Structure 1
Amino acid sequence: MPMSPRKRNETILMAILAIVSVVPLRFFVESRSWFLAEMGMLIALLAVAEVVKTFGSPGNAKPKLLTSSAITLLALTPVLFAVLARAFGSPIAFEMSALTTFGSTSLAIALSATSDRTRAMSLVISGFLVLFTTSISDDPRAVWLAIAWMTVCVWHLVANHWERLDLCLPDSVRPTIGVRPASVMFAVVLCIVGGLVVRDRFSQSNRLAFGFMPSSGGSKWSDPAARSGIGTGDAAIAAKDHAESFGAVESEIFLESTESTLFDMFNDTIGEPKKKNKWERRQAMNNDNFIPSHEQASKSEKGGSSFSTDRMPPKKHHHFDDAVEAAVVQWDGPTGIRLAMERFDTFDGVDWTNTANLADATLQRTEIDDAVWFFDRRLQSAVFENSDAVQVNLLKVLRLDTTRLPAPMMTAGLHIKDVDRQDFFGIDDDGSLFMPGREKVPPLTVAHLASLCVMEDELIDGAADYEGLKSIIQDLRTNFTLDRNSSTNTDDPVAEFLRTRRGGDHLFATVAALKAREIGFQSRIVTGFYVRPNSFDIAAGHSNVTPDDVHVWAEIRLEDGRWFEVEPTPGYREPVYTPSMWLVAKRFAAEHWTHGLAIAGVFAFLFFTRLIWIEWLLSLGWSLSWPLGRQRQLRIAMGIVETRAKLIGQQRPAGTPQRDWMESLVASDIHLRDRVREFCNDADKSIFGGSGTIDRDRLSGVVRGLNSRQMKQVVNGAKA
């Protein structure tokens, strides 16, 4: 049986929506001319196929051949453009071409489908593509495209099911009210309400982190990228160097360049520290300002490294002349996070230093999936007790003159391929991972880093005044302005920052740490890198971190000794601490309890007054049924009577004829009994005789006479 034009058009529309869902992922990262040419070709081929099919002669073979050729070329267009674009120096990412090919194939199948089975293939492909692109998109508006596709799909499925049901029903019970609009509106409202409920409740998802794509083997411990079907983890982050081993490389034959330290990069980005000794700075400070309450905790300046908040304006940034990109490290993992390198816990009013002694020269050696891992002994038990809270990502060091490894918050362990010597790794005094006994981390070293995720419930339970801390961070992010080009004009940079409400991220982090101490927290600042959300290279499969991405933020200590990070600087994404469903429910109840009471009151009112308002709606529906035919009015009248009977608990028993049931219902009222008998006689003549007519006044009399109140009185009278 040929497919109806409506079914075909709906399937084509869903395939077009699938192609449109890929557009936001490609439009801003590809050559604009090649992208528009590809989309234009798809539109042109679609138009050709439709025009030829519509106006072509059914018996002519040429239109059929032209239509088939256009449909075939439509399916192959993304592949052809991917090849041509690469040949002319404007490469299109293979995964983006693959996604577009899914959409064009779905559209080609929809255009050529001649059966419901073939049409279903197009629906499955387009549905997968829309949901997949929505799930990997960073734009919250992408969900509306998925809702649009689901709306058309629900309409399509309901319509298809209802038409099949129509064919199986006799005329006497054929439905008279279409259900498609109501069903579709209910589905759309349900999707929108569900989306609003869960909006902003989940953290940014890892790209392809759940292994539902074709896998090249491995687990998150041995090969986190491979399990998502994008090659081996080492190759995914270092493929452009074409090296066979990405362990700790001792020579620099692969990379010859000038390497900067973290100190140099901060000097280039936010300016060099002012050349003034610390004694002079302390003499010049105002003793009545914001800082003195914290000087008691800063008597020692153990360790030679420090971080100054009193800096000059930044100079021109240093760029590498021997590299295509100025990346210092590459990151294969979620973006919008921070990679820590140095931590400072002591502040003297101008300079931060570290006085803690968290060093551990002997990490715990553990083998997982035939790979040697080294764990922080203080966190190892938490890793294996709650493996679901562990994320494993890849870091590749390119040109970084340091022995430290940039690592996410709560990094518990690391693994470097083919390296199993325990003396290669350690934890420095400030708690940062480093490689002791070396001048720097060897270039091209790829490290697998396992870090623990912290739930928001743990922060609430383990922090004395979590809400107060959030208020401090929100005030800094809302009422202060980030300006890395500003310089301090006094010897008290923090007081100047509080007065001008403008400064670099190092001042935001300093004030956040100091204010956190005022409300009872232990705090420290952290220097390292920020992985920008727009730094992800789709073609390469990793994010490039450049010297411009140096950043300063703060960490706060929980009561159990663990640390969590806060982001006080506006313009940087805040850390995501996912709440449990129980916490979400409690917050929702606390925020909307007044609405809940109001809704409960409305439902209670509707329940206790249901006889009144349902009766009113039924009467209104009957009064609007006058344009319909007599037989339809008869069915509506019977439906109204049965609905009223259900409201008073007198529904028709299964298998009981309608005539017998209605006559028994009004047996105690002679006047109503005669009306019901005449109504049933007219109904029998109209339905079974085919020539009888129905008196509308008599029909209206039965509908109005058998209202809920009258019916209840008759039933109660019969019982009495």
Structure 2
Amino acid sequence: MSPDSPRLPVAPLPVVAVRHPSVRVTKPSRSEDDDRASLPLQVLVALLAAVAITTFAIVEADGLFQGRHAAILAGQGIAIALGGWALRRRSRRWAVPPMASPLLVLLGLLPLAWEPIRRQFLGGGLPFELLTMRVLRNVILGLALLSPWRRFHSLTISLSLFLVLFSALHGSDIALRFLVGLFALGAVAWLVASHWTDVEQRLRTQQTRTRPRWGVVAAVGFAVLGILLLSGGSSPVRSSLAGFLSSSGGTGRHDRFSRDGVGDGDQLVAGSERIQSFAPIDDAPFVSDHEPSLYDVFDDTYEEEVKRPREQDRAVGLPPELAAKLKSHLQSRVEKANREFSTQRRPASTEQAAATARSIASDALFHVAGRVPLHLRLQPYDLFDGVTWYPQEEARTSPPLQITTLSGEPWLALADRSEVRTYLGPAESHAIKVVRLDANVIPAPLHTHGIHIGQVDRADMYCPGPDGLIRLDRKKLPSLVPIHLASRTVAADRIGSELSCYSVVGPVFRNIPAAAEPEAIAALAEAWTKGIPRGWSQVARIQDRLKTEYRLDPAARPSEDALSPVHDFLFHSRCGPDYQFATAAALLLRSLGYSTRLVSGFYANPAHYDADARHTPVLAEDAHVWAEVNVAGGDWLTVEAAPGYEVLAPPPSLWQQAQAAASRVAGVAVRNAVPLAAVALLLVGAFWNRQGLADRLDTLRWRLAPRRDAAAHLLATLHLIERRGARTGFARPTGATASRWLIENLSRRAPEISAELRLLQRGIDEAVYCRGGLGPVSDELREASGRVARTLSQSWFRGQSGPRPRPTSPTGPHRTTEVL
């Protein structure tokens, strides 16, 4: 459009205000008529509330939707319809319904007041999550009655959405899918209808300067980051925030009215046939089946032991008193069901290994609920002849076992030394659920001080087992019956020098057979611990050297001509199964004067943790062997020398969790130092030149965006100039019109493009108020806007200084129009 082109005479134009980035367009408060909803909008909100209430009714029925549920739903629907009709007539006189908030609170409290009466006198009850959702349902019901007023619509839809999401998460009925889809369509329709109602009733806009919302966004971001850090500990169970929302992991509290959860509720039904397909419950029948014993698992995992010739057998290099002890062991082999553990085993073929992997990957021997990793002990060994470990003899006399009642449940009370052992951590709670394991010894961690089996309140059901363990007075553990264990972990940093090298447990725990060449083992142990004071520091050094300098290989076997497999492992092959690491750690510590023993059992591996079921399955491949060292006072501590295995530590504090998170971040940064440094330099450079980069992006978008209409092109050019001025501190003042800003401010400072600026000013005014439009972009307009964009660059704005004229604020009864 040329400056000389004829223009139609127009009436005086009202003031034009272009929206500023820091200006928010607000509306004055609605009048009484504005807050009154239209009839279609009221009906839509009431229907959405009814759909949400219906979805919850389906979940509450729990697959048994009967006539009474339909009658209750019908009554609620009639109440919404009649109440909405009556209140709509009142809405002509009531700007705000009287007593609305107190009535909504009263409706919400009704389920909470009724539940204790129901549980006390009617014998029924609801789980906590359904009870809270009943409160929400009643509030939605009250809000649906208030649907004639628009001020309640947003809250009604929000709460209804939450109730629908809860129902979709907890229900599996096919009707829920249809209702959820129907609610989604209705919610979209409500959003559209509510928006256009606002547009139609919008009055004069007011401009108010607002603060940027980056502070709110940053606060929310830090809160989310804090929650993630708190929930990300060493235990996979912490992947759910306990009790934060329904289905988030629970609080660990027992509720006899619950329908499902992490624990075992009383409403689960015990099976009588094929109960392996049922959930583990406390009152399930004790069933028998063909289940593998611990030693069957060892033979499957490590292969069968090698039968050594008689002339090379077990009595090599043993003192007379230990030789007599060995003879006693050999005489009771039949009675003890071949419970020795040999370190000399046959190599497994490839086909056998593949078949074993396929067989053990399908079924778990038992499940563990609680924090992992966890060492579950089944059999300790004390005597070693260079090849084979022999089980530790059980005590012939022991204190009588006692049952105590805690929170109404019977617990077998065992010794708890936490008051005199400073290195013992807080009490830990675990539960094991045996599926198929032929053993009557309860797998338990060290320092177990309580055992609970549901409804077992007789002490004669329990018998003392191997040292520190308890067995049931029956052939095998009951299948699918939870066995709850209370134990304590060990804080290694608080052990200090309490390790005793002159323990009262006897010389058998410090004997090293001659076949293992004790001189070489002692020299190696002294070299590894040179300069380290006695105590746990030496034990930790032995563990670390074995973990870092030796390789775990379950298939590795010593040479057939080796008199002692552990000597071959330490000085020649330097690789082997876990039992070779355990044997080497036990003998190395014995050479330093410590009392040690070998322990076999299972390792609850955190890699097998099932986040959905909230438990860790223990497979046959999790059979494990480790060592234990004696502490002053007769206690034992776990010595885990095999790579890839960890010992459960006490629950970390918040500070320790923060340190662990920082350590993980630092580790990732160190491993990826070069790419992270490059990214950091790029980010610093981008931040330093952020204004220039933003201007280049704006200019590129202005040039490439397809705009055929002259009005759109003019407004885009104005927006580009405004953003440049705002970034350099030369922003258009609040309330200043585009015409006044272009002519009075920019044209006076850039006289070389005054004609182009006047052309843009006239074009913008006509684009806003000319109903017919300006037509396509002419070459003259494109050239003028390009010259303005090149001249009023960001560097030009940055070079402007001095006082800036303050344009007068628009006054008068004109309506303010939003351009951008």
- Report the TM-score, using the length of structure 1 for normalisation: 0.54
Q: Is the 8 A contact 1:554 1:565 kept in 2?
A: yes
The answer for the alignment partner of 1:551 in structure 2 is 623
Change (3 A) 1:692 1:606: same
The answer for the alignment partner of 2:416 in structure 1 is 377
Q: Is the 8 A contact 1:455 1:580 kept in 2?
A: no
The answer for the alignment partner of 2:387 in structure 1 is 350
- Whether 1:271 aligns to 2:304 is yes
What is the DSSP-based 3-state SS (H/G/I as helix, E as strand, rest coil) of the residue aligned with 1:116?
helix
For 1:622 and 1:539, how far apart are their aligned partners in 2? 51
Question: What is the deviation of 1:585?
Answer: 1.7
For 1:559 and 1:656, how far apart are their aligned partners in 2? 83
Question: What is the deviation of 1:341?
Answer: 0.6
Change (3 A) 1:418 1:513: same
For 1:458 and 1:635, how far apart are their aligned partners in 2? 72
1:548-571 Cα deviation digits (max 9, x unpaired): 55722325779998845758378x
- 1:613 alignment partner, one of 693, 707, 710: 693
Question: What is the deviation of 1:377?
Answer: 0.7
Change (3 A) 1:235 1:612: same
The answer for the alignment partner of 2:757 in structure 1 is 676
What is the DSSP-based 3-state SS (H/G/I as helix, E as strand, rest coil) of the residue aligned with 1:635?
helix
User: Which amino acid in 2 is paired with 1:494?
Assistant: V
For 2:199 and 2:272, how far apart are their aligned partners in 1? 61
User: Which amino acid in 1 is paired with 2:709?
Assistant: G
1:176-200 Cα deviation digits (max 9, x unpaired): xxxxxxxxxxxxxxxxx99x99999
- 1:341 alignment partner, one of 364, 378, 385: 378
User: Which amino acid in 1 is paired with 2:583?
Assistant: T
Question: What is the deviation of 1:592?
Answer: 0.9
Stretch deviating more after TM superposition (274-283 or 625-634) = 274-283
- 2:470 alignment partner, one of 434, 440, 447: 434
User: Which amino acid in 1 is paired with 2:407?
Assistant: D
Question: What is the deviation of 1:481?
Answer: 3.2
Change (3 A) 1:117 1:409: farther
Change (3 A) 1:701 1:117: same
- Whether 1:405 aligns to 2:442 is yes
Spell out the pairing of 1:151-550 with structure 2 (5 A cutoff).
203-205=235-237, 212=246, 219=253, 227-228=261-262, 231-232=265-266, 240=274, 262-263=294-295, 266=298, 270-272=303-305, 274=307, 283=316, 307-311=341-345, 330-331=366-367, 333=369, 339-344=376-381, 349-352=386-389, 361=399, 367-373=405-411, 374-379=413-418, 390-396=428-434, 400-402=438-440, 404-408=441-445, 411-420=448-457, 430-431=467-468, 433-435=469-471, 443=478, 447-451=483-487, 464=537, 469=543, 472-473=546-547, 479-483=551-555, 488-497=560-569, 499=572, 504-511=577-584, 525-529=598-602
Q: Is the 8 A contact 1:225 1:236 kept in 2?
A: no
Task: Calculate percent identity across the aligned residue pairs.
Answer: 22
For 2:198 and 2:703, how far apart are their aligned partners in 1? 27
The answer for the alignment partner of 2:666 in structure 1 is 589
Question: What is the deviation of 1:588?
Answer: 0.9
- Whether 1:622 aligns to 2:702 is yes
The answer for the alignment partner of 2:117 in structure 1 is none
What is the DSSP-based 3-state SS (H/G/I as helix, E as strand, rest coil) of the residue aligned with 1:715?
coil
Spell out the pairing of 1:47-66 with structure 2 (5 A cutoff).
none
* Structure with bigger gyration radius: 2
Change (3 A) 1:591 1:221: same
Q: Which runs of 5+ in 2 are unaligned?
A: 1-167, 206-224, 330-338, 354-361, 497-534, 806-820
Q: Is the 8 A contact 1:329 1:398 kept in 2?
A: yes
Change (3 A) 1:613 1:331: closer
For 1:620 and 1:260, how far apart are their aligned partners in 2? 72
User: Which amino acid in 2 is paired with 1:418?
Assistant: Q
For 1:717 and 1:519, how far apart are their aligned partners in 2? 85
The answer for the alignment partner of 1:711 in structure 2 is 797
Question: What is the deviation of 1:241?
Answer: 5.4
For 1:514 and 1:712, how far apart are their aligned partners in 2? 78
Q: Is the 8 A contact 2:437 2:476 kept in 1?
A: no
Change (3 A) 1:524 1:199: farther
Question: What is the deviation of 1:371?
Answer: 0.9
Change (3 A) 1:709 1:274: same
The answer for the alignment partner of 1:123 in structure 2 is none
Q: Is the 8 A contact 1:216 1:227 kept in 2?
A: yes
User: Which amino acid in 1 is paired with 2:770?
Assistant: G
User: Which amino acid in 1 is paired with 2:566?
Assistant: V
Q: Is the 8 A contact 1:513 1:525 kept in 2?
A: yes
- Report the TM-score, using the length of structure 2 for normalisation: 0.48
The answer for the alignment partner of 2:105 in structure 1 is none
Change (3 A) 1:702 1:536: closer
User: Which amino acid in 2 is paired with 1:271?
Assistant: E
For 1:261 and 1:622, how far apart are their aligned partners in 2? 76
Question: What is the deviation of 1:710?
Answer: 0.8
The answer for the alignment partner of 1:631 in structure 2 is 711
For 1:284 and 1:167, how far apart are their aligned partners in 2? 98
For 2:593 and 2:716, how far apart are their aligned partners in 1? 71
User: Which amino acid in 2 is paired with 1:629?
Assistant: D
Spell out the pairing of 1:123-142 with structure 2 (5 A cutoff).
none
For 1:393 and 1:566, how far apart are their aligned partners in 2? 23
Change (3 A) 1:237 1:677: farther
Structure 1 or 2: more helix by fraction: 1
For 1:220 and 1:381, how far apart are their aligned partners in 2? 32
Question: What is the deviation of 1:698?
Answer: 1.5
1:375-416 Cα deviation digits (max 9, x unpaired): 541358999x987x83431334876354x3112566453112
For 2:756 and 2:540, how far apart are their aligned partners in 1? 73
- 1:568 alignment partner, one of 620, 642, 646: 642
For 1:621 and 1:568, how far apart are their aligned partners in 2? 61
Q: Is the 8 A contact 1:357 1:429 kept in 2?
A: yes
User: Which amino acid in 1 is paired with 2:766?
Assistant: K
User: Which amino acid in 1 is paired with 2:784?
Assistant: R
For 2:180 and 2:767, how far apart are their aligned partners in 1? 45
The answer for the alignment partner of 1:116 in structure 2 is 186
For 1:658 and 1:521, how far apart are their aligned partners in 2? 88
Q: Is the 8 A contact 2:368 2:604 kept in 1?
A: no
Q: Is the 8 A contact 2:297 2:623 kept in 1?
A: no
For 1:504 and 1:653, how far apart are their aligned partners in 2? 77
Q: Is the 8 A contact 1:216 1:232 kept in 2?
A: no
Spell out the pairing of 1:98-109 with structure 2 (5 A cutoff).
102=172, 108=178
Question: What is the deviation of 1:488?
Answer: 4.7
User: Which amino acid in 2 is paired with 1:658?
Assistant: A
Question: What is the deviation of 1:708?
Answer: 1.1
What is the DSSP-based 3-state SS (H/G/I as helix, E as strand, rest coil) of the residue aligned with 2:450?
strand
For 1:567 and 1:237, how far apart are their aligned partners in 2? 43
What is the DSSP-based 3-state SS (H/G/I as helix, E as strand, rest coil) of the residue aligned with 1:620?
helix
Q: Is the 8 A contact 2:558 2:573 kept in 1?
A: no
Spell out the pairing of 1:58-97 with structure 2 (5 A cutoff).
none
- 1:687 alignment partner, one of 768, 773, 783: 768
The answer for the alignment partner of 2:124 in structure 1 is none
1:647-672 Cα deviation digits (max 9, x unpaired): 21222333332333344543333334
- Whether 1:653 aligns to 2:653 is no
Aligned residue pairs, count: 532
Q: Is the 8 A contact 1:405 1:441 kept in 2?
A: no
What is the DSSP-based 3-state SS (H/G/I as helix, E as strand, rest coil) of the residue aligned with 1:482?
coil
**Cα-Cα RMSD:** 6.6
The answer for the alignment partner of 1:38 in structure 2 is none
What is the DSSP-based 3-state SS (H/G/I as helix, E as strand, rest coil) of the residue aligned with 2:599?
strand
For 2:623 and 2:233, how far apart are their aligned partners in 1? 26
What is the DSSP-based 3-state SS (H/G/I as helix, E as strand, rest coil) of the residue aligned with 1:580?
helix
